[in-house]
Amino acid sequence: MDKKPKKCLLVITKSNWGGAQRHVYNLATTLPKEEYLVSVAFGGTGVAESAPGELAERLATAKIPTHYVRAFARDVSLWSDLRALVEIISLFRQEQPDVVHLNSSKAGGVGALAARIAGIKKIIFTSHGLAWDEDRSPFAKKLIKLFSWCTFALCHAVITITQDNFDRVRALPGCSKKVVLVRNGLPTLSFEVRERARVSLALKTGLVEHSDAGSIWIGTIAELTKNKGLPCLIGAAKLLAEHSDTRRFGGQRFHIFIIGGGEQEEMLRSLIIENNLAHCVHLVGFISDAYRYDRAFDIFTLTSVKEGLPTVLLEAGQAGTPVVASDIPGAREIVTDSESGLLFPTKDAAALAEQLTLLINDPALRSRLAKNLQQKVTSQFSIAQMVEETEGIYRS
């Protein structure tokens, strides 16, 4: 008799398109169909009752069954969270999944409690970065840490995606035997050739000199939120602009492209204008599968103050683009300083400017770092390994 496939329900708070959403999509579409009946539950794009986002569209195209949780919202709201709890309990009782796999902090906390109430036998939570690492007050961090520990306690297994997070969660009471390290992985990606990517970005931003061989292109891809630390990048751009016509900077023009949308867009636009940087710092807006443009850049930068395992660095690594990233645990998992990229202290615009200047002035260093990062990403961050290790947790 053929073995009956297990029902696996993946749950995530938001259905926009970011690193955690890509992780859910990769699992949903890669888990063996003969062994798992996969479906995905999600909210809108961050606010209760908001319309489903790009994750929903991609799952529909891939013919993965989905469930919309109307009350899911990113920010804490007692009323919305209680409504979400009731919705998810009802969903779990209706679907009766063998495995519930929770992703993101809100889905983790509300979903783990709902799963316990509904009597789910296997509750797994993937932590895409520790929520108490966010830039908040000391009291808020302690409160978030307490609620995160409650989530871990309600789950049967907790997946962390970096060694640093694994070590810190393992040290929490009652967590040493349930935490597992599973690094995210990517499939082989397809990139636009350099010149075509540059032409496309130039058209999106109204930039005329896209083919100017003397200009250095620096890019980042990020949701425009506080955690991404983008004011630091604009501060670094101001310092670079002040020295762009000096020998220190090699006399080269530069352009910085910020690809993404989000709540800080108007603030960043004002900051760019206030610092007279509109000629060299460009807000591109959201682009689906923005990684395709990574080869347009001479340098890719990540300025986040908090990340899990930054997918954008894995993408840049596959593309063969050298990286400058903030010195945070998730970035250190991918980038070894001065070996496969350069790191700088978070929020330090002067340090970021120094590292960018180092790469701008040294094409050979850019080439060496890019090659080393590409080798590391392709060998250590495969989607096949991620799915195999996740399946092992489902079966254990």
Does residue 145 sit within a domain?
yes
pTM here is: 0.86
Q: Inform me whether the pLDDT recorded for 209 exceeds 60.
A: no
Q: Inform me whether the pLDDT recorded for 245 exceeds 80.
A: no
Q: In the structure, what pLDDT confidence band is assigned to residue 244 with cuts at 50, 70 and 90?
A: low
Minimum mean pLDDT range among 101-105, 202-206, 370-374: 202-206
Q: Inform me whether the pLDDT recorded for 381 exceeds 50.
A: yes
Does residue 216 sit within a domain?
yes
Q: In the structure, what pLDDT confidence band is assigned to residue 250 with cuts at 50, 70 and 90?
A: low
Rounded CA gap, 244 and 254, in Å? 8
Minimum mean pLDDT range among 92-101, 231-240, 251-260: 251-260
Q: In the structure, what pLDDT confidence band is assigned to residue 18 with cuts at 50, 70 and 90?
A: confident
Residue 21 shares a structural domain with residue 103: yes
Q: Say which residue, 206 or 2, is predicted with more confidence.
A: 206
Q: What percent of the chain has pLDDT over 90?
A: 86
**Domain tally for the chain?**
2
Does residue 1 sit within a domain?
no
Does residue 141 sit within a domain?
yes
Residue 175 shares a structural domain with residue 232: no
The model's pLDDT over 252-270, given as tens digits with 9 standing for 90+, comes to: 689 999 999 999 999 999 9
Residue 308 shares a structural domain with residue 276: yes
The model's pLDDT over 133-160, given as tens digits with 9 standing for 90+, comes to: 888 899 999 999 999 999 999 999 999 9
SS (H, E, C) the chain: CCCCCEEEEEEECCCCCCHHHHHHHHHHHHCCCCCEEEEEEECCCCCCCCCCCHHHHHHHHCCCCEEECCCCCCCCCHHHHHHHHHHHHHHHHHHCCCEEEEECHHHHHHHHHHHHHHCCCCEEEEECCCHHHCCCCHHHHHHHHHHHHHHHHHCCEEEECCHHHHHHHHCCCCCCCCEEECCCCECCCCCCCHHHHHHHHHHHHCCCCCCCCCEEEEEEECCCCHHHCHHHHHHHHHHHHHHCCCHHHCCCEEEEEEEECCCCHHHHHHHHHHCCCCCCEEEEECCCCHHHHHHHCCEEEECCCCCCCCHHHHHHHHHCCCEEEECCHHHHCCCCECCCEEEECCCCHHHHHHHHHHHHCCHHHHHHHHHHHHHHHHHHCEHHHHHHHHHHHHHC
CATH of the domain at 325: 3.40.50.2000
Q: What percent of the chain has pLDDT over 70?
A: 95
Please report, as a single letter, which amino acid is at residue 90: S
Q: So what's the pLDDT on residue 75? A: 83
Residue 303 shares a structural domain with residue 167: no
Residue 322 shares a structural domain with residue 275: yes
Residue 280 shares a structural domain with residue 337: yes
- Average pLDDT of the segment spanning 374-384: 95
The model's pLDDT over 49-86, given as tens digits with 9 standing for 90+, comes to: 899 999 999 999 999 999 999 999 888 888 899 999 99
The model's pLDDT over 277-298, given as tens digits with 9 standing for 90+, comes to: 999 999 999 998 999 999 999 9
Q: In the structure, what pLDDT confidence band is assigned to residue 46 with cuts at 50, 70 and 90?
A: confident
Residue 231 shares a structural domain with residue 348: yes
Rounded CA gap, 318 and 80, in Å? 40
Q: So what's the pLDDT on residue 308? A: 87
**Burial (CB count <10 Å: 0-12, 13-18, 19+), residue 178:** middle
The model's pLDDT over 22-44, given as tens digits with 9 standing for 90+, comes to: 999 999 999 999 999 999 999 99
Residue 174 shares a structural domain with residue 237: no
Residue 370 shares a structural domain with residue 269: yes
Handedness of CA 311, 46, 258, 163 (dihedral sign): negative
Residue 121 shares a structural domain with residue 231: no
Q: Which domain does 81 fall in, by range? A: 6-185+382-395
Q: Inform me whether the pLDDT recorded for 247 exceeds 60.
A: no
Please provide the average confidence, as pLDDT, over all residues in the chain.
Answer: 93
| Residue 37: how many other CB atoms lie within 10 Å | 17
Q: Inform me whether the pLDDT recorded for 1 exceeds 70.
A: no
Residue 114 shares a structural domain with residue 250: no
Does residue 87 sit within a domain?
yes
Does residue 176 sit within a domain?
yes
Residue 308 shares a structural domain with residue 391: no
Q: So what's the pLDDT on residue 207? A: 80
